Structure 1
């Protein structure tokens, strides 16, 4: 009886046989025959060894010295290999130590002229690091907690990251990938360091007394010896807000774009001595001078040097040097032309300083709305850093011993 679906396979013409089954893998593998003599010799030697071994016997001193020397050599080799691995990892990791040997790279990534200059600045702010309050500590209300941070980056690498963000205008996602941290960590580091540097550098008095300015007055200002500060405004392009009311406030007719406007003042020898907060781009130069608090620093014996658009004669208590207007005349006098040229030649230094500030690419690109919470700190820190990053605005002034 055949099962349903079965097909006969054995017939008289095929000898009623099936092919033999294929042997398994273990059966197909050839193995050498056991060597009884070697096994017996090994067994005998093992027995003899166990019989001859004396655990109570003291080792030979020469053997001990040889083993100790070998261990010391291995330890030294391990230490050297570990140092090489750490050095290689340090060179591959993105951080300040990777570019320590190249002043050109330091200039590109931080705007500091050299590594030594950057380290000198780091030595100045490092003692204040214990008083730094991170964003996370501020949110938790644990500003006085001395618990170390769980961030994997060293403080100097966090500082280097902040300088990358300011100098290159790098995106936070790009910095997170470079430094191997989460994007939210990058955001917290940037906010923490912007507030920290704003506090530390802002605590240093930058307004120079009148007598010190006259003592170090460059020879180019001999016709304007009472000049205390050179003023100019700068505008930062920003992302347009969605609200029509806010758009009208930040829209600048001069730039034909939404901007934030700030006032910068420098001493005649080129140091930044005044920085205002940022205002909406529609504000006038006169209004920003009034609201910035600069007027309280000026005295009757001083003088300010401004551009032609600064009509501040009626709000400041001192003299104002400004290029002459035609004032309805068809042609300016020769004296007015010479004065205009002299003032323009001296006032150009504040424009060079503003150019240095905008070499921090974050301020030279369109500022996103998400940065508005710390943009005042970033702008102030960028302006103050120009006093530490570079040499004098005019190289000839540095050659004079009294400058």
Structure 2
């Protein structure tokens, strides 16, 4: 390692030993072990601040012996180099000689000190008296004692002022907490009322995905007896007092903020002034309750209602096609189990995913959404396991569908035989043959189907606008992911229709 001298304008360099004239390199004192000595040497070297300072001192910082007495490095009597500015070298500083002093000197010192420290408290005066009345050795002068006493008095005064300020602040915080508890205020800055009355346009819809008016409609459906009713049908995992005090409309608002913007539990706890455990309890309880309430409804209207509200172009081209189906996938964190990794791996996404079947009407409104299955499942299998064919059969029996009605899908759904058993038809794009090119009629049919099948993809995109599903789902959330998925999917029906 090349060694350089850090002293003044010295240019000693270990690469040129013939120019050293027998000089050696002494390591610089380290700031961590000997800060005072390090600071002295830096000052004596008289180098610019940006070239030599405490932060520049490393194990490779040296000074040559040319700058010490007799060119022999530091000694006990001369431990420091000479001053680079004046050339003066100073001897080592020793502790003051212990001198005995008589009682008269002591008394004079005490009398002088007592005149200056009249305003000091008793403890400070006693401390100075103990120092001044030593009869064996004198370690401090009278001026040192006076300066020390004044400093102690000043620190005690500052300590008393800080204690008084701290006590006043604690008293003020206690009064604020007691007032908040008495008035039962849990949400001050972030609540349904504050967000709905905000001057920022569409702020409530930004946080929940629905307008404030439709939010009130949702609350009236979920809680027919009102939010202030003593009977709360939501079941919670734990019996927490602050969960009971928070109104149920605020709890639903909290849940919507969670799924719409993907807000973390700790963020929600801060916004709603709740504990993290209470937020988790609310999310579990509200998700289960909304899953049961929204899932109990029938979203598939009679075929006459669907045909009556079809877009005009759709009605001309596919008058008997009452629904459009497609599958979608959401990414999840990779499970630790190799079996789960294999089951959830999707070749289409090249990642571990969960897959769901989504059914919408020609206007893009959700008619049916299945639970989430492992990403490796095929489109045909998910139609079977989700009970889609049984649901169509029950609609046929009730007269909601007629024989000859059709379902639109893409080429991945080879379910013609299952639908034929029910009495329905399947509209999918025609397959191209490798032997001959596609006919003009088939090209036109493919374009028509693609133009209308885009509505189900737009409906799926509406669901994924709930940002909880636009990122990887953590494994810790998989136990309740079906509840979140169904609620987000059906809440899109509270938004404006896609096709107007």
TM range (shorter): 0.7 to 0.9
Partners of 2:111 and 2:270 in 1: how far apart? 64
Match of 1:180 among 273, 282, 297: 273
Within 1, Cα distance between the matches of 2:187 and 2:292? Answer: 33
Pick the aligned partner of 2:289 from 189, 196, 200: 196
Give the conservation status (yes or no) of the 8 Å contact 2:331–2:351.
yes
Report which structure shows greater RCO (CA 8 Å, sep ≥6).
Answer: 1
> Could you say which residue in structure 1 is the equivalent of 2:383?
289
Asked if 1:123 corresponds to 2:123, the answer is: no
Partner deviation per Cα, 1:58-116 (whole Å, 9 max, x = no partner): xxxxxxxxxxxxxxxxxxxxxxxx9xxx9xx999521221211345211211111x222
CA shift in 2, pair 1:103/1:191, >3 Å: farther
Q: Structure 1 residues 352 and 97, CA, compared in 2 at 3 Å: closer, same or farther?
A: same
Distance 2:462 2:219 in 1: 20
What is the distance in 2 between the residues matched to 1:17 and 1:296? Answer: 106
**Distance across 1 between alignment mates of 2:265 and 2:243:** 19
Equivalent residues in 2 for 1:76-87 (5 A)? Answer: none
Kept in 1: contact 2:234–2:286 (CA 8 A):
no
Name which of 90, 100, 104 aligns with 2:202: 104
Instruction: Calculate the TM-score normalised by the size of structure 2.
Output: 0.59
Q: Distance in 1 between matches of 2:186 and 2:285?
A: 25
Q: Give the one of 374, 386, 393 matched to 1:280.
A: 374
Q: Is the 8 A contact 1:91 1:97 kept in 2?
A: no
Are residue 161 (structure 1) and residue 257 (structure 2) matched? no
User: Does the C-alpha gap of structure 1 residues 275 and 16 become closer, same or farther in structure 2, counting only changes over 3 Å?
Assistant: closer
8 Å contact 1:286–1:312 — kept in the other structure?
Answer: yes
- Please give the residue correspondences for 1:347-366 in structure 2 after superposition, counting only pairs within 5 Å: 347-366=453-472
Cα distance per residue 1:142-186 (max 9 Å; x no partner): xxxxx9865443222211110111001111111112212111111
Q: Secondary structure at the match of 1:136?
A: coil
Distance change >3 Å, CA 273–CA 7, structure 1 → 2? same
Correspondent of 1:134 among 232, 235, 254: 235
Unaligned runs of 5+ in 1: 28-81, 141-146, 396-403
Tell whether the 8 Å contact from 1:134 to 1:188 is kept in structure 2 after alignment: no
1:90 and 1:98 in contact (8 A); partners too? no
Within the candidate set 301, 304, 323, 2:404 is matched to 301
* Residue deviations 1:358-394 (CA, integer Å, cap 9, x gap): 0000011100111111111111111100001x11112
Q: Which runs of 5+ in 2 are unaligned?
A: 1-98, 122-178, 397-402
Distance of 1:16 and 1:214 partners within structure 2? 113
Offset of residue 136 of structure 1? 2.7
SS at match of 2:330: strand
Contact preservation (8 Å) 2:187, 2:272: no
Give me the CA root mean square deviation. 2.9
Find the counterpart in structure 2 of residue 25 from structure 1: 119
Aligned counterparts, 1:376-395, within 5 A: 376-388=482-494, 390-395=495-500
Larger Rg: 2
| Shift >6 Å, 4+ stretches | 14-18
Listed one character per residue, the Cα deviations across residues 290-341 of structure 1 (whole Å, up to 9, x for unaligned) are: 1111112334432100012111112223110011110324421110011001
Q: SS of the counterpart of 1:108?
A: helix
1:150 to 1:19, Cα distance in 2 relative to 1, 3 A: same
Deviation at 1:269, TM superposition (A): 2.5
Maintained 8 Å contact 1:109/1:164: yes
**Inter-partner Cα distance in structure 2 for 1:16 and 1:369:** 81
Deviations 1:10-64 (A, max 9, x none): 39xx99997464374399xxxxxxxxxxxxxxxxxxxxxxxxxxxxxxxxxxxxx
Count the aligned residue pairs: 320
